[in-house]
Amino acid sequence: MADKVSLEEIGEAMYKMVEEFAGKKKFKPGELGKEMIAQFGEDRVTKKDCKEALKLLMNSGRLVYGYYGGTSVEIPHVEGAAKDAGEK
Amino acid sequence: MTTEERKTDIGPPNYEKFLHPIIKENYGKWKYHETLKPGVLVHVSETGASIYTVRGGSPRLVSVDFIRMICDLADKYCDGYLRFTSRNNIEFLLANKENIDPLIGELNSNGIPVGGTNNAISNIVHTQGWVHCHSAATDASGLVKAVMDELYDYFTTMKLPHKLRIAVACCLNMCGAVHCSDIAILGIHRRPPNINHEALKNMCEVPTTISSCPTAAIRPATVEGIQSVEVDEDKCMYCGNCFTVCPAMPIADPLNDGISIWVGGKVSNARTEPMFTKLAIPFIPNNPPRWPEVTGAVKNIVEVYAKHARKYERVGEWISRIGWPKFFDLTGLEFTKYHIDDFKHAGTTYRKTTQIRH
Amino acid sequence: MADEKERKTPLLDELEKGRWPSFVTDLKKIAERKPMVKDLLGQLELSYKEKKGHWKHGGLVGVRGYGGGVIGRYSDLPEQFPDVKMFHTTRVNQPSGWFYTTKALRELCDIWDKYGSGLTNVHGSTGDFVFLGSNTDVLESIFTDLSKAGWDLGGSGSDVRTPSCCNGPARCELACYDTLDMTYDLTTTYQDELHRPAFVYKWKFKMAGCPNDCVASIARSDLAVIGTWRDNIRIDQAAVKEYLDNGLDITSDVVLKCPNQCIRLEGNELSIKNEDCVKCMHCLNVMSKALRPGEDKGATILIGGKAPIMEGALLSSVLVPFMKMEKPYTEFKELIESIWEFWDEYGVARERIGECIQRVGLGNFVEAIGLEPIPQMVSQPRDNPYIFYEEYFEEGDEEE
């Protein structure tokens, strides 16, 4: 059986992906999971692992949820409307 | 120093904590109910116990002070128990019949009408409108206030052929069952979005924006050197979907935004199957603060229905019986090209029979 | 001394007239102690003047770890109306059936008065108790105070939206299953799905106790659970006679209104041909004292209802004609999870399950989630002959 990938590793890979595509593509949580399974192989990463890894990232505040007609995963930043309201 | 564990995912409080003792004792044992007068119900249990309900209208958009005021009344007359209905009415739950009239007296003196039961117009389900929504084509709270002022007596009495449900939605997103109400008041945009290409570049993903369009009217385009999008105006039906995904495509247009009116929907399975609303009036300009053209149009439809429908006919059932030509005839509404569907399932609505009343 | 923020609202003032309770009067009163509401009224007055909204959608606010429950909102005129430059919504998950004690309501009011505008929607369209208008920096505090008091946030975004239900067996004789318990059970079971959006789009559950559908589940939810029964309507002939004695015209108001003509009145005796009854509810609604649903109760499960965005409005359609609805709802939950599995695999961004089913075909969908195609799922078999056959013979196939 293939070695399982730790939640931390999955988390790091997710973060890297979101960071790399910031401004180009907003990933949906499910898409990010599918990317991880593609990257590590379905024998090493399950959907449930991806959900857990994402939950840890969200709880730590390194990633946040965004919403524009559908939920996306994003790196915390001050977006347009908030910037105009003086948020930092 | 101890840090308190941050609690998440506890869910809502268990409803059992909030049930009146009589309700708790008779949970699942109710035998029947009667309407004692407009806005007043009694539910009787197999055990012989009764609980009385007094239903009051609420603007839904209310302050904490308004809520505290109704809490004072519920403390005084209802042992502190009350609930809200799916149409945003307040229901006071009383153990003691003697408290009904004093409660109604105090509700009325606080400006809260009692009614909305049986063959009445209940409260209007509605959305946020200009009070709080980014894609609103009209206001909702103001429209509701203006329409309910006009139809007030239909809330406090039960003189209609059957129940009548009105809903307001401030855009095609329809946060609420507008598409299945007896009468629906729907805010509409009538022009394609305005594209701010400079802002779009920073705020929006081009592929997501393109795929947000239900009619594939949005195409990639380079405008003055900026990777952006363009809208095929012939295909746009002004849903504002792209604006929700991409804030750089505002669709609001004071000159062209307004109201459309729809009739004949229902969700209940009683007698006939649930049905969608159908177009009655394609466009009425926004005319705040009291939208007299809208209130007039709604009142007209209500009155024609009240006069011509048979007992237990909802608006849609009444129109099914008399036929749409007669509906337009009786209400004096104009039938136009816009009433004939030209979208996806248009063909299903063409008349394919010679069964026509002459 | 005149308050420098004193604003004139001549247009909104017109909405203080008339007999229906005025939100403007209420807002003006609380504006005396809430600068946010003063600016809200100012901005709304401008909207009434210009016939145009002034809100911007913000996508990134929330409480830590949750993707649902908070919706960002910003004024597009922050300099003119600084106190509503941020005006976010917080959805508080309501108790089943919207039953409250005054103590609970006062608790919510106190928390909200402490941090926000003091304005609410009781309730939002999906069912939450809605706090309307706060700054970003108080969101965590609101959440902390709420959870200390035993409350949690509702859904928003691509998640399980806050489930809601009718008042069910708590105060209705027609309820065919325990809508309140099931709503509470589903809400607590699916907390992760509710707070951490992981779907391609929103998912709404609504529980209605009977086919009168007081929560509009068939029109407004992706998964509608509508109570029904399989055996005979219970008739109390003494109560039938009482209705007749009190002047009810049973023939015209009940018998002739029955969609399947399955009711007969002979003398004072009412009889129902139950095999023809489609459980429409009309006779039970009119003769509450005399007629009651049968005793073999459960629910019909329907799927795919939604408002127009994106591909047009849909009413839910039948998936399971009858299912017993008893704790812990295992059969139901297994069904839901197999549907979510399918949707996760085949749904595309912003595609509700109803639209997904339209795209892949109901037949393919039911096959994929392990249900048998049955005639109850359709109003009629197809009338078009474009059938995509999956089985056919080839030369040399052995005859069975």
Q: Does C67 touch chain A (CB under 8 A)?
A: yes
Query: Is residue B275 scored above 60 in pLDDT?
Result: yes
| Chain B contact probe: residue of C13, C23, C260 with most B CBs at under 10 A | C23
C85 with A85: Cβ contact below 8 A? yes
Q: Which of C224, C373, C241 is nearest to C306 (CA)?
A: C224
Are the C-beta atoms of C219 and B177 separated by less than 8 Å?
A: yes
Residue C136: CB atoms within 10 A of its CB come to 18
The token pair that represents B291 in the structure block: 């939208």
Is A66 a member of any domain? yes
Are the C-beta atoms of B88 and B56 separated by less than 8 Å?
A: no
CA distance C398 to chain B (A): 44
The rounded distance, in Å, linking the Cα atoms of C298 and C226 is 8
Query: What local confidence, expressed as pLDDT, does residue B4 receive?
Result: 63
Sorted by where each begins, the domain ranges of chain B are: 15-109, 125-190+255-335, 197-245
C309 with B173: Cβ contact below 8 A? yes
Q: Does A42 touch chain B (CB under 8 A)?
A: no
Q: Does A88 touch chain C (CB under 8 A)?
A: no
The rounded distance, in Å, linking the Cα atoms of C170 and C293 is 16
Q: Please list every residue in chain C whose beta carbon sits closer than 8 Å to the beta carbon of residue A28.
A: 158, 200, 349
Helix ranges, chain C (H): 10-13, 23-31, 35-50, 102-115, 139-148, 168-171, 179-189, 191-195, 217-220, 237-245, 250-253, 282-286, 330-346, 353-360, 362-368
Helices C330-346/C353-360 angle, 10° precision:
70
Query: Is residue C81 scored above 50 in pLDDT?
Result: yes
* Chains in contact with A, counting 3 or more C-beta pairs less than 8 Å apart as contact: B, C
A25 with B205: Cβ contact below 8 A? yes
Q: Across the interface, which of A25, A70, A80 has its CB nearest the CB of B203?
A: A80
Is A23 a member of any domain? yes
Query: What local confidence, expressed as pLDDT, does residue C350 receive?
Result: 85
Q: What is the CATH number of domain B15-109?
A: 3.30.70.3340
CA distance B103 to chain C (A): 16
Q: Does A61 touch chain B (CB under 8 A)?
A: no
The token pair that represents B40 in the structure block: 């007043």
| Chain A contact probe: residue of C84, C91, C140, C158 with most A CBs at under 10 A | C158
The token pair that represents C342 in the structure block: 């399918």
Q: Is the backbone peptide bond immediately before C310 cis, with ω within 30 degrees of 0? A: yes
Instruction: State mean pLDDT over C8-37.
Output: 97
Q: Please list every residue in chain C whose beta carbon sits closer than 8 Å to the beta carbon of residue A30.
A: 198-200, 344
- The model's pLDDT over C127-168, given as tens digits with 9 standing for 90+, comes to 999 999 999 999 999 999 999 999 999 999 999 999 999 999
- The model's pLDDT over C219-238, given as tens digits with 9 standing for 90+, comes to 999 999 999 999 999 999 99
Are the C-beta atoms of C288 and B118 separated by less than 8 Å?
A: no
Query: What local confidence, expressed as pLDDT, does residue C1 receive?
Result: 39
Query: Is residue A87 scored above 80 in pLDDT?
Result: no
Q: Does C295 touch chain B (CB under 8 A)?
A: no
- The model's pLDDT over C159-194, given as tens digits with 9 standing for 90+, comes to 999 999 999 999 999 999 999 999 999 999 999 999
- The model's pLDDT over C255-282, given as tens digits with 9 standing for 90+, comes to 999 999 999 999 999 999 999 999 999 9
Phi and psi, residue C390, nearest 5°: -105, -20
Are the C-beta atoms of C200 and C343 separated by less than 8 Å?
A: yes
Q: Which of B185, B177, B245 is nearest to C306 (CA)?
A: B177
| Chain C contact probe: residue of B20, B132, B156 with most C CBs at under 10 A | B132
Q: What is the CATH number of domain B125-190+255-335?
A: 3.30.413.10
Is A47 a member of any domain? yes
- The model's pLDDT over B311-340, given as tens digits with 9 standing for 90+, comes to 999 999 999 999 999 999 999 999 999 999
Instruction: State mean pLDDT over C114-133.
Output: 97
The rounded distance, in Å, linking the Cα atoms of B165 and B122 is 6
Pairing of strands C164-165, C205-208: parallel
Q: Please list every residue in chain A whose beta carbon sits closer than 8 Å to the beta carbon of residue C60.
A: 64-67, 74, 76-79, 82
| Chain A contact probe: residue of C43, C55, C57, C60 with most A CBs at under 10 A | C60
Token look-up 């329809």 returns B174
Q: Based on the number of CB atoms within 10 Å of its own CB, is C370 exposed (0-12), middle (13-18) or buried (19 or more)? A: exposed
The rounded distance, in Å, linking the Cα atoms of B51 and B91 is 12
Is A44 a member of any domain? yes
- The model's pLDDT over C39-79, given as tens digits with 9 standing for 90+, comes to 999 999 999 999 999 998 877 899 999 999 999 999 999 99
The rounded distance, in Å, linking the Cα atoms of B236 and B186 is 18
Query: What local confidence, expressed as pLDDT, does residue B178 receive?
Result: 84
Are the C-beta atoms of B253 and B191 separated by less than 8 Å?
A: yes
Q: Does B49 touch chain C (CB under 8 A)?
A: no
Pairing of strands C223-229, C205-208: parallel
Q: Which of B234, B236, B227, B232 is nearest to B207 (CA)?
A: B227
The rounded distance, in Å, linking the Cα atoms of B129 and C220 is 19
HEC string of C165-219 equals ECCHHHHCCCCCCCHHHHHHHHHHHCHHHHHCCCCCCCECEEEECCCCCCCCHHH
Is A2 a member of any domain? no
Q: Which residue of C has its CA nearest to B34?
A: C288
Q: Please list every residue in chain B whose beta carbon sits closer than 8 Å to the beta carbon of residue C286.
A: 312
C102 with B17: Cβ contact below 8 A? no
Would you place residue B3 in the very low, low, confident or very high pLDDT band (cuts 50, 70, 90)? low
Are the C-beta atoms of C284 and C233 separated by less than 8 Å?
A: yes
Pick the CATH number of B197-245 from 3.30.70.20, 3.10.310.30, 3.90.120.10, 3.10.50.40: 3.30.70.20
Topology alike, domains B15-109 and B197-245: yes
Q: Does C323 touch chain B (CB under 8 A)?
A: no
Query: What local confidence, expressed as pLDDT, does residue C5 receive?
Result: 57
Would you place residue B138 in the very low, low, confident or very high pLDDT band (cuts 50, 70, 90)? very high
Is A1 a member of any domain? no
Contact map slice: A 21-60 vs C, CB within 8 A: 28-30, 33, 47, 51, 54-55, 58-59
Contact map slice: B 313-342 vs C, CB within 8 A: none
- The model's pLDDT over C335-389, given as tens digits with 9 standing for 90+, comes to 999 999 999 999 988 899 999 999 999 999 999 999 999 999 999 999 999 998 9
CA distance A1 to chain C (A): 25
Query: What local confidence, expressed as pLDDT, does residue A1 receive?
Result: 53
Query: What local confidence, expressed as pLDDT, does residue C235 receive?
Result: 98
Q: Please list every residue in chain A whose beta carbon sits closer than 8 Å to the beta carbon of residue B199.
A: 80
* Chains in contact with C, counting 3 or more C-beta pairs less than 8 Å apart as contact: A, B
Query: Is residue C306 scored above 50 in pLDDT?
Result: yes
C310 with B286: Cβ contact below 8 A? no
Q: Is B61 left (phi over 0), alpha (psi -120 to 50) or beta?
A: beta
Are the C-beta atoms of C176 and C165 separated by less than 8 Å?
A: no
Query: What local confidence, expressed as pLDDT, does residue B251 receive?
Result: 93
Would you place residue C309 in the very low, low, confident or very high pLDDT band (cuts 50, 70, 90)? confident
Number of H helices, E strands in chain B: 10, 12
Q: Across the interface, which of B10, B64, B211 has its CB nearest the CB of C113?
A: B64
Q: Does A65 touch chain C (CB under 8 A)?
A: yes
The amino acid occupying position C28 is K
Q: Please list every residue in chain C whose beta carbon sits closer than 8 Å to the beta carbon of residue A61.
A: 64
Q: Please list every residue in chain B whose beta carbon sits closer than 8 Å to the beta carbon of residue A69.
A: 212, 241, 244-245
Highest mean pLDDT: which range of A22-31, B161-170, B239-248: B161-170
Number of domains composing chain A: 1
The domain containing residue A29 runs over which residues? 7-87
The CATH number of the domain where A41 resides is what? 1.10.10.10
Q: Which residue of C has its CA nearest to B287?
A: C51
Query: What local confidence, expressed as pLDDT, does residue B47 receive?
Result: 97
Token look-up 């939100």 returns C23
